[in-house]
Chain A
């Protein structure tokens, strides 16, 4: 021992002796922590790096005094001989609500229309307006130790947890507590971390009703907190913001869940200079590169899914490829994270049955997680995340005496945790002295001998008796009869009790025995009672050891068979992404949707993601080395652009307020929506993902290119301007709700006022903002009041600045004219009317205002406001010189938009080339991306489709769809992928069947289908009534 550590021990002893002055009364004679304990002859694992064979550890007053190979044991110490057992630091769980009453309350209210409209009044007092912001919550003030739940965690090795109230978006602070009983000692850090999530929890406020609403609310709250700290506090008292500002210095933990939500949360963190630690869902392995890039530490669950019951081939179709693959790969998540050097802690959260924790931990180790990394994820890493690495997580002098004693290496399958010591207090989990009663015995009762067999059956003793006795069969012939009795055998405090019902010649009825086991476990003896109540003596002696079941577990060095990780992690994902090529397409009929018109027998060269040349013939020098595609008899068109889509989104509507300009679809893109691939198969290369039509001012759109396999950020159309959804008519006035709504507006008259009110406010906001910005530049002006960034007003102000464009859901002429008046008076142009089914009635007015139209080809009669819709709408608008697009608003129809364009020919006689423009260059113009895409011209993005037939014909199939020169859909590759997928499913089905036969638990298949959104799909609705 070094001099230094000795001094430390002396100091500690001194401090502890002097410090024992509890504030709380004690009923009886006050126990004092005077006992010193010395644990000797143990394999002491100090941390994930170091362990000591045959080491010793001295603890006193809840803390470790010293630990080492040879220590001088104080004379007053109680010595505990570990007899070679293992000692580890107790585990730390960072995601827990241990001891917090009503933590989660009821689950989030979704699934009905009866959610009250967002009303400004708060019933909370001087806190923030939205009950999902609970930053004032201090978990330590709510904490009450609960032995039942503490025991559950102690039994699987945990000694301390970060406990917080799992309710709300800003959940306040969590407390670091030990799993011991005295809260005055066990709360070791009352304010240890700030906790967040996307789930609004028990809030009865309808806002936010969507993921994008949660994101917006949290961002606005951070902006508000910033304003508050810079002087806003002089204008109002807001305890939620005060608490949030105080908690900014703490480690921040975000319950993100799914891998994409980790990225979404990280993006918020980046905006406000916060690095969250992310609680994940265990599927991070599916996007390791992106997860690593966040730089976040993770808190990872190990609740691996059970295998699916795949015995019925029809029902098995309900199990998706990703679910099958996740079943196989989930246990390897931790090992893959470790391999990528991503810092992570492991949590027991999410395990319905906590007893599976060690089993799953060992499963993760078998899948390649090193024991060192596993131990680190349970001890030093969580301690470091909480900046408590000087207090817990290791066995070192001065640390809390939180440790477990195990029978052997804890990662061995049959290792048992005997004890878990928390702050120096011993909790016995399983007796290490338990006597073994298995084997074959001769049991002698009075003078009768029985053959008793006791086997170990999964930790329980299973006993039976066999008696062979002479008997006679039907013919009177002498035979040997074998009788078998089931036996109840229990062992309690090393005392045996045995009972069985005898039916032999010597004894009849229930015999009950009680007795002791000899030290060598070979003989048992005691007293008993026969069925007639007569007391007898009995004994039993071991004749043989129990037969040990053959170990069927595969040796650890067996190769681990795992399928590939595919991108995206769903059907039609692939191991490697398709790449950009240099391609020359020849002999094609090329519909350029550009000045060159239609080129018969033409050629087009793409390279580096751009169109390099297009024409009747191409300069041969340019096409050197290009892959040539002979498209004889085929047609090439620009990629189809869907101006109105709701695919690939986690949420569509945040409709609880009349304006939700602050929400952004770009933050909730689901890049793994199968509909992206399906639309590529219909020639679509670009879509505007719009907010729904539940409110007059909806949210901000995302314009994406369908880069299947990429992540959300990579799908966003670079350089596209901002858009926002507006809506008019029945949806925003809630007139199709089966109960009357309360949210303003309820009539078209109110809709007009919403627009005027919001634009006037936005204009005033803009003036304030400009003044503030210029005052911060000019130094000698008098300082203005602190400026509060309002992300809703920012979006509206951008419209007034002509930096953001409006796509407005619209049907009826009166309100279309109204909105154009509003725009005129506010000096901006209403960019696009979408749906616009009565546009043909006001085409002249739209033309003079400068609006474009993005319509359905032939939809009508699905509600009152579309009773005058006609399929000639597109043609009439086009004849008036308006930029007309046809859109889908429907994941199915989107893959046939070329056919929808053909209806402009059928209804109203639009020329074919012009009709095709309805789904190519015209929507590109409406989206202000026509410089980059939408037509086939040199220098533009290589977004194009090769069709098997005339592109406006029902018989045309998209054979190849290119986005940026990358062939994301190829009919022939599609067929190959189907085969690969089928093979992979077959392999996994075989593996699951094997797992079932092995006796592992299984689950019935369930089919998880993404909702298919339309305009007015409300996130709260159960089945998303889908009218348009």
Chain B
């Protein structure tokens, strides 16, 4: 039995070393389907549902979790496992989920050839991010090595930017990567205020065309509703067809809105068009209209926590404590990081949650905001989002607290049970030059 035990760190190092020589400048190879049984013992397990097991036993086989328990209180048949990993003192988390992300759609911001995050046009619900998702993006390996193992890949631009899909980050191609295809349609709520530049200052004023834009959205949905309720169509309109599942509740309407006015109008819109599932992405002002959001069961994908306050008068730490405010108000929310450098910055997603803890959110709630909460919001919580038997074995082990950059050190990560390679172009460049200087010293 002893010969089946591995020190996980060794495994990882072996994989990394072999890569340096063989596959320099290439993304890591996706791992083969997992079948053997694995047991991770004695780690501090953060379940994702708000609970924590200080000394855990976590088993999985065929990519699915088979055991999540307190190692001190259950009897474990060690012989039933092919591999046993001792994670004494390490932390175990469900794979973090990057919601509202453009990973794989855009590689280098300023190189147009690498930019596929946005299609031209205004109303384009049938546009699908999934087919543009590049599994060979060099950014993705740098993100998963910090514990972010899944993402909702979301198109940008226009009023209705298109349809997102949920992906896992270890795949040969986009079909393999799919967790949930076409999970929902993204509506960018028109700004009630817009910015313009005048004499060195940016001012924001009520948008003159706001009412007009709102009418256009309403008329688009009115037409779609008529189209979808008509049953079989002789003429197919792809735009409206893409909304039928949304109107029936099979897909989610993601409304991108941040200020109180826009969110209130979006809620009215949900009621007017009887939209079954709506999620707000942004939500800076959500705490101001908490009652409405709760009574209409609208969750929030909260805008980037590491942001400056919007108004000079706002509490200097307002963005940092928004998660705590939402938590206190009973609003369901998850944490995302749309904005400047969002793709390369996705590896810092855990630290946004860490800041939320520093400003009052209970730790396990912060973990939930990156795991079970997004899984529930995305409608994938049957299989993802927490360490519970029967769910995908998508998880990682960090030798320290993963929400703190000081201690985030992922030693092993599994996606659907597959042990993934944590190296990246960046680690390769690091070793290449470290070796150069080490040899100079000799």
Also in contact, A950 and B406, with CB within 8 A (given A111-B197, A1026-B340): yes
Bound complex: CA A415 to CA B380 (Å): 76
Bound complex: CA A891 to CA B317 (Å): 14
Q: Chain B: which residue is nearest A111 at the CB level?
A: B197
Also in contact, A902 and B344, with CB within 8 A (given A571-B312, A861-B107): no
Are B193 and A861 within 8 A (Cβ)?
A: no
Q: Which of B236-244, B274-282, B429-437 lies at the interface with chain A?
A: B429-437
- Tell me which of B108, B313, B340 contacts A861 (CB under 8 A): B108
Q: Which of B38-46, B123-131, B177-185, B203-211 lies at the interface with chain A?
A: B203-211
Q: Mark A645-689, 1 if CB is under 8 A from B, else 0.
A: 000001100000000000000000000001101100100000000
Also in contact, A896 and B306, with CB within 8 A (given A952-B406, A953-B406, A954-B351): yes
Also in contact, A863 and B430, with CB within 8 A (given A906-B409, A1007-B203): no
- Tell me which of A843, A860, A912, A981 contacts B437 (CB under 8 A): A843
Q: Which of A312-320, A404-412, A557-565 lies at the interface with chain B?
A: A312-320
Are B312 and A320 within 8 A (Cβ)?
A: yes
Also in contact, A906 and B437, with CB within 8 A (given A863-B111, A1026-B340): no
Q: Chain A: which residue is nearest B112 at the CB level?
A: A738
Q: Mark A840-872, 1 if CB is under 8 A from B, else 0.
A: 110110000000000000111111100110111
Among the interface residues A314, A322, A677, A841, which one has the most CB atoms of the partner chain B within 10 A? A314
Contact of A824 with B by CB under 8 A: no
- Tell me which of B204, B403, B434, B437 contacts A318 (CB under 8 A): B204
Contact of B201 with A by CB under 8 A: yes
Contact of B26 with A by CB under 8 A: no
Instruction: Give every chain A residue within 8 A of B307 (Cβ-Cβ).
Output: 892
Bound complex: CA A601 to CA B36 (Å): 51
> Of residues 169 to 194 in B, which have CB atoms within 8 Å of A's CB atoms?
193
Chain A interface residue count, Cβ-Cβ cutoff 8 angstroms: 78
Are B312 and A863 within 8 A (Cβ)?
A: no
Are A863 and B316 within 8 A (Cβ)?
A: no
Instruction: Give every chain B residue within 8 A of A677 (Cβ-Cβ).
Output: 316
Contact of B80 with A by CB under 8 A: no
Are B437 and A844 within 8 A (Cβ)?
A: yes
Bound complex: CA A1026 to CA B339 (Å): 11
Instruction: Give every chain B residue within 8 A of A512 (Cβ-Cβ).
Output: none
Also in contact, A681 and B316, with CB within 8 A (given A864-B108, A1008-B202): yes
- Tell me which of A211, A876, A956 contacts B434 (CB under 8 A): A876
Also in contact, A650 and B308, with CB within 8 A (given A730-B110, A899-B351, A1004-B205): no
Contact of A1022 with B by CB under 8 A: yes
- Tell me which of B358, B426, B429 contacts A957 (CB under 8 A): B358
Also in contact, A1007 and B311, with CB within 8 A (given A318-B193, A862-B110, A954-B355): yes
Instruction: Give every chain A residue within 8 A of B404 (Cβ-Cβ).
Output: 902, 953-955
Q: Chain B: which residue is nearest A681 at the CB level?
A: B316
Are B429 and A870 within 8 A (Cβ)?
A: yes
Are B312 and A321 within 8 A (Cβ)?
A: yes
Contact of A978 with B by CB under 8 A: yes
- Tell me which of B108, B311, B315, B430 contacts A317 (CB under 8 A): B311
Bound complex: CA A632 to CA B329 (Å): 33
Also in contact, A1023 and B195, with CB within 8 A (given A320-B311, A675-B308, A858-B347): yes
Bound complex: CA A447 to CA B10 (Å): 118
Contact of B91 with A by CB under 8 A: no
Instruction: Give every chain A residue within 8 A of B111 (Cβ-Cβ).
Output: 863-864
Q: How far is the CB of B358 from the nearest CB of chain A, in Å?
A: 5
Q: Mark B289-315, 1 if CB is under 8 A from A, else 0.
A: 000000000000000001111011101
Q: How far is the CB of A845 from the nearest CB of chain B, in Å?
A: 12
Are A650 and B200 within 8 A (Cβ)?
A: yes
Are B358 and A978 within 8 A (Cβ)?
A: no
Bound complex: CA A955 to CA B204 (Å): 34
Q: How far is the CB of B431 from the nearest CB of chain A, in Å?
A: 9
> Of residues 968 to 1022 in A, which have CB atoms within 8 Å of B's CB atoms?
974, 978, 981, 985, 1004, 1006-1012, 1019, 1022
Q: Mark B390-423, 1 if CB is under 8 A from A, else 0.
A: 0000000000000111101100000000000000
Contact of B139 with A by CB under 8 A: yes
Q: Chain A: which residue is nearest B431 at the CB level?
A: A872
Are A1011 and B202 within 8 A (Cβ)?
A: yes
Contact of B364 with A by CB under 8 A: no
Also in contact, A571 and B260, with CB within 8 A (given A859-B344, A906-B409): no
Are A1007 and B108 within 8 A (Cβ)?
A: no
Also in contact, A905 and B108, with CB within 8 A (given A571-B313, A841-B433, A892-B306): no
Instruction: Give every chain B residue within 8 A of A1019 (Cβ-Cβ).
Output: 200
- Tell me which of A899, A906, A1006 contacts B204 (CB under 8 A): A1006
- Tell me which of B110, B204, B405, B426 contacts A736 (CB under 8 A): B110
Also in contact, A955 and B354, with CB within 8 A (given A870-B426, A872-B430): yes
Chain B interface residue count, Cβ-Cβ cutoff 8 angstroms: 59
Bound complex: CA A1019 to CA B348 (Å): 31
Are A908 and B430 within 8 A (Cβ)?
A: yes
Are A678 and B313 within 8 A (Cβ)?
A: no
Q: How far is the CB of A201 from the nearest CB of chain B, in Å?
A: 14
Are A954 and B406 within 8 A (Cβ)?
A: yes
Are B406 and A876 within 8 A (Cβ)?
A: no
Contact of A1027 with B by CB under 8 A: yes
Bound complex: CA A255 to CA B409 (Å): 59
Contact of A879 with B by CB under 8 A: yes
Q: How far is the CB of A906 from the nearest CB of chain B, in Å?
A: 5
Also in contact, A1007 and B204, with CB within 8 A (given A863-B111, A864-B108): yes
Instruction: Give every chain A residue within 8 A of B405 (Cβ-Cβ).
Output: 899, 902-903, 906, 954
Are B109 and A862 within 8 A (Cβ)?
A: yes
- Tell me which of A861, A974, A1008, A1012 contacts B109 (CB under 8 A): A861
Are A1012 and B308 within 8 A (Cβ)?
A: yes
Q: How far is the CB of B106 from the nearest CB of chain A, in Å?
A: 9
Bound complex: CA A86 to CA B196 (Å): 49
Are A905 and B197 within 8 A (Cβ)?
A: no
Q: Mark B260-271, 1 if CB is under 8 A from A, else 0.
A: 110000000000
Bound complex: CA A997 to CA B306 (Å): 42
Are B108 and A863 within 8 A (Cβ)?
A: yes
Instruction: Give every chain A residue within 8 A of B429 (Cβ-Cβ).
Output: 840, 868, 870, 872
Are A906 and B433 within 8 A (Cβ)?
A: no
Instruction: Give every chain B residue within 8 A of A871 (Cβ-Cβ).
Output: 426
Bound complex: CA A950 to CA B205 (Å): 43
Q: How far is the CB of B423 from the nearest CB of chain A, in Å?
A: 12
- Tell me which of B201, B317, B437 contacts A880 (CB under 8 A): B437
Are A1007 and B357 within 8 A (Cβ)?
A: no
Bound complex: CA A1007 to CA B192 (Å): 12
Contact of A749 with B by CB under 8 A: no
Contact of A119 with B by CB under 8 A: no
Contact of A570 with B by CB under 8 A: yes
Instruction: Give every chain B residue within 8 A of A730 (Cβ-Cβ).
Output: 110
Contact of A760 with B by CB under 8 A: no
> Could you list which residues of chain A lie within 8 angstroms of chain B, going by C-beta atoms?
110-111, 211, 314-315, 317-318, 320-322, 570-572, 650-651, 674-675, 677-678, 681, 730, 736, 840-841, 843-844, 858-864, 867-868, 870-872, 876, 879-880, 891-893, 896, 899, 902-903, 905-908, 912, 949-950, 952-957, 974, 978, 981, 985, 1004, 1006-1012, 1019, 1022-1023, 1026-1027
16 interchain pairs (CB within 8 A)?
Answer: A320-B313, A681-B317, A730-B110, A840-B429, A862-B109, A862-B110, A867-B108, A876-B437, A879-B434, A906-B405, A978-B315, A1007-B203, A1007-B311, A1009-B202, A1011-B201, A1022-B197
Shortest beta-carbon contacts, A-B, top 5: A954-B354, A1007-B204, A863-B110, A872-B430, A571-B312
8 new A-B contacts, CB < 8 A, other than A861-B109, A899-B405, are A314-B259, A315-B261, A863-B109, A867-B108, A872-B427, A906-B409, A957-B358, A1023-B197
> Could you list which residues of chain B lie within 8 angstroms of chain A, going by C-beta atoms?
107-111, 138-139, 193, 195-197, 200-206, 259-261, 285, 288, 306-309, 311-313, 315-317, 340-341, 343-344, 347-348, 351, 354-355, 357-359, 403-406, 408-409, 426-427, 429-430, 433-434, 437, 440
